[in-house]
């Protein structure tokens, strides 16, 4: 598989593709690492990423990003737009759940984990993407929550999926470097699975906030219209959503 401007690598097994790329001491060009199996795949806040060998796609793309540090929290949203756009082009009805989930048909299809470290005058950003290719029913039984897999919508060809997502992500990052999050904000809002719905969001400190989803702030924060007025949520997890 060849992706213009990206060094593609493949391993049969590793702990985490993100961890491998974060340890790179020098990155001459953007790099993409695909793993046949991850033994320590993870999501946000250290949560485990569940995927049986052969049923899931796991890869990471690393590249240096040059934007102020205060703007980097929006990178997961930028990556979400790029990934959903690429999967939609293949025929999968993908939507986005704030801040980093891919959903389809009401179930979680995948997730994105962005990790960063300083790299000279820029920031090395590693985008870990996990997508369920097959086995949604079994995974849903294990996790006891709605799960989706690509085979419910399209033929889950691994190389074709990566070959669509990687260039889409590179283009989205080029736009982010040129214009910041505003380049992706409108498209993210158009693909928001919970737009206009009443959400319950659990904050990092354990408290919960309920309000109607009202788009994103300039920095990517989730905007909620609560009983006490507008509120911006910068860190949290959407626990439930229902019609307003």
CA-closest candidate to residue 129, choices 90, 176, 81? 81
Which DSSP string corresponds to 93-153?
Answer: -EEEETTTEEEETTEEEEEEEEEEEEETTEEEEEEEEEEE-S-HHHHHHHHTS-B--GGGT
The pLDDT mean for the chain works out to: 92
Residues of the chain with CATH 3.30.930.10: 7-190
Indicate the SS3 state at residue 190: helix
pLDDT of residue 26: 75
Residues of the chain with CATH 2.30.30.100: 198-242
Q: Which CATH superfamily is domain 7-190 in?
A: Bira Bifunctional Protein; Domain 2 (3.30.930.10)
157 pLDDT band (50/70/90 cuts)?
very high
Q: Which two tokens stand for residue 118?
A: 């300083």
pLDDT of residue 38: 84
17 pLDDT band (50/70/90 cuts)?
very high
More confident residue, 86 or 41: 86
Q: Which helix (H) or strand (E) holds 173?
A: helix 158-179
pLDDT of residue 41: 67
CA 121/CA 64 separation, integer angstroms: 9
Q: Which two tokens stand for residue 81?
A: 């737009």
**What's the topology of domain 198-242?**
SH3 type barrels. (2.30.30)
Residue with tokens 């962005």: 114
Q: Which helix (H) or strand (E) holds 21?
A: helix 17-22
CA 8/CA 174 separation, integer angstroms: 19
Prediction pTM value = 0.93
* CB proximity list for 179: less than 8 A, separation 6 or greater: none
Average confidence (pLDDT) over 97-118: 96
pLDDT of residue 121: 87
CA 46/CA 64 separation, integer angstroms: 23
Average confidence (pLDDT) over 2-8: 93
Cα-Cα end-to-end distance for the chain = 45
pLDDT of residue 44: 55
Looking at 12-26, 37-51, 57-71, 203-217, which range is the least confident one? 37-51
Average confidence (pLDDT) over 150-167: 96
CA 33/CA 162 separation, integer angstroms: 11
Average confidence (pLDDT) over 103-123: 94
Alpha-carbon separation of residue 212 from 98, 189, 222, 226 (angstroms):
13, 14, 10, 7
- CB of 202 within 8 A of CB of 208? yes
Q: Which helix (H) or strand (E) holds 242?
A: strand 236-242
Average confidence (pLDDT) over 82-110: 97
Q: Which two tokens stand for residue 30?
A: 């953007």
- CB of 213 within 8 A of CB of 199? yes
Evaluate if residue 52 carries a pLDDT over 70.
Answer: no
pLDDT of residue 42: 63
**Mind listing the pLDDT tens digit for each residue in 224-244?**
999 999 999 999 999 999 998
pLDDT of residue 54: 75
CA-closest candidate to residue 126, choices 89, 85, 176, 76? 76
CA-closest candidate to residue 148, choices 116, 121, 110? 110
- Antiparallel, parallel or unpaired: β 198-203 and 236-242: antiparallel
Evaluate if residue 47 carries a pLDDT over 70.
Answer: no
**Mind listing the pLDDT tens digit for each residue in 122-153?**
999 999 999 999 999 888 898 889 999 999 99
**Mind listing the pLDDT tens digit for each residue in 170-207?**
999 999 999 999 999 999 999 999 999 999 999 989 99
pLDDT of residue 45: 52
């Amino acid at each position: 598989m060849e992706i213009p401007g990206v060094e593609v690598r493949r391993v049969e097994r590793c702990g985490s593709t993100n961890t491998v790329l974060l340890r790179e001491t020098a990155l001459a060009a953007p790099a993409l690492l695909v793993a046949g199996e991850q033994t320590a795949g993870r999501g946000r806040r250290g949560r485990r990423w569940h995927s049986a060998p052969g049923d899931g796609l796991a890869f990471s793309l690393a590249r240096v990003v040059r934007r102020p540090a205060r703007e980097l929290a929006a990178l997961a949203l930028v990556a979400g737009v790029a990934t959903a756009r690429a999967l939609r082009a293949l025929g999968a009805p993908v939507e986005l759940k704030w801040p980093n989930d891919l959903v389809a048909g009401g179930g979680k299809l995948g997730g994105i984990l962005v990790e960063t470290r300083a790299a000279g005058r820029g920031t090395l950003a590693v985008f870990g993407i996990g997508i369920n290719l097959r086995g949604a029913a079994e995974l849903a039984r294990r996790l006891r929550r709605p799960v989706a897999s690509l085979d419910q919508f399209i033929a889950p060809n691994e190389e074709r999926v990566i070959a669509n997502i990687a260039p889409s992500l590179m283009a989205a990052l080029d736009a982010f470097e040129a214009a910041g999050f505003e380049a992706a904000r409108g498209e993210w809002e158009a693909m928001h699975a919970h737009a206009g719905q009443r959400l319950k969001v659990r904050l990092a400190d354990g408290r919960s906030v309920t309000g109607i989803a009202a788009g994103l702030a300039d920095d990517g924060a989730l905007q909620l219209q609560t009983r006490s007025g507008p509120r911006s949520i910068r860190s949290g997890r959407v626990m439930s959503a229902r019609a307003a």
